[in-house]
Amino acid sequence: MRMPTVCTYELARVADAETIANISRWLIEAGLQPTWTAARVAWHIQHPESTVLVAKENARLVGFGIMQFGEHAAHLNLLGVLPARQRHGVGRQLLSWLETTALTAGIVVVTLEVRSTNRGARTFYEALDYTVLDTITGYYEGREDALRLKHDLRIRSSSLPD
Ligand SMILES: CC(C)(COP(=O)(O)OP(=O)(O)OC[C@H]1O[C@@H](n2cnc3c(N)ncnc32)[C@H](O)[C@@H]1OP(=O)(O)O)[C@@H](O)C(=O)NCCC(=O)NCCS
């Protein structure tokens, strides 16, 4: 049986921006021109309409999520967990926190884009009740498609903790 990773979850500080950008570069934007610079992450950390959440294990950042809140929907910009900590429930916890934040703000729809080739993430989101809205051809530098996913938070996931 896999033991859950013992993490603390907290709002990111500007000092976390560089680590998040570095991880994003190889974990999420691998093979693409990086767009999530430390400055961009720091902007989201400081912006009132974004939440940047980090998971830390013994003070080491092992996961993060960035959600931006609009008038009608929230957009999950980034979600990542270090490979050694994947499949221990960290991604689920990060997303649950961010979704709860959206609900608290009165937002019931979350959208995101995922690389069409990213089977692991697609299965993760599917397990958490995200459904495919459509495919955006060439979304990534004109050479890789994205799937646009959506979750109506009024449909409660049986996979999320109480
Ligand atoms: C996608 C990602 C964030 C998931 O985080 P995680 O902490 O590993 O996910 P969890 O452990 O919370 O998984 C929850 C459930 O999702 C499903 N799941 C997660 N990863 C999966 C995988 N690679 N293959 C199949 N199912 C998966 C499982 O049902 C899992 O429950 P279980 O472990 O009890 O079976 C993580 O794999 C990751 O960082 N991937 C690389 C970056 C990325 O692709 N980010 C998303 C695009 S922005």
% pLDDT > 90, the chain: 91
The reported pTM is 0.94
- Ligand 1 center to residue 62 CA distance, Å? 13
Sequence letter at residue 52: V
Q: What is the pLDDT of residues 69-109, one digit of tens each?
A: 999 999 999 999 999 999 999 999 999 999 999 999 999 99
Checking if the pLDDT of 110 tops 90, the result is yes
- Ligand 1 center to residue 140 CA distance, Å? 21
Cα–Cα separations (whole angstroms), residue 1 to 56, 61, 87, 142: 22, 24, 12, 42
Rounded Cα–Cα distance for residues 126 and 82 (Å)? 20
- Ligand 1 center to residue 18 CA distance, Å? 23
Sequence letter at residue 16: D
Average pLDDT, the chain: 94
Ligand 1 environment, Cβ below 6 A: 27-28, 78-81, 86-92, 114, 118, 120-121, 123-124, 127
Beta bridge partners of 136: 146
Q: What is the pLDDT of residues 140-161, one digit of tens each?
A: 999 999 999 999 999 765 555 5
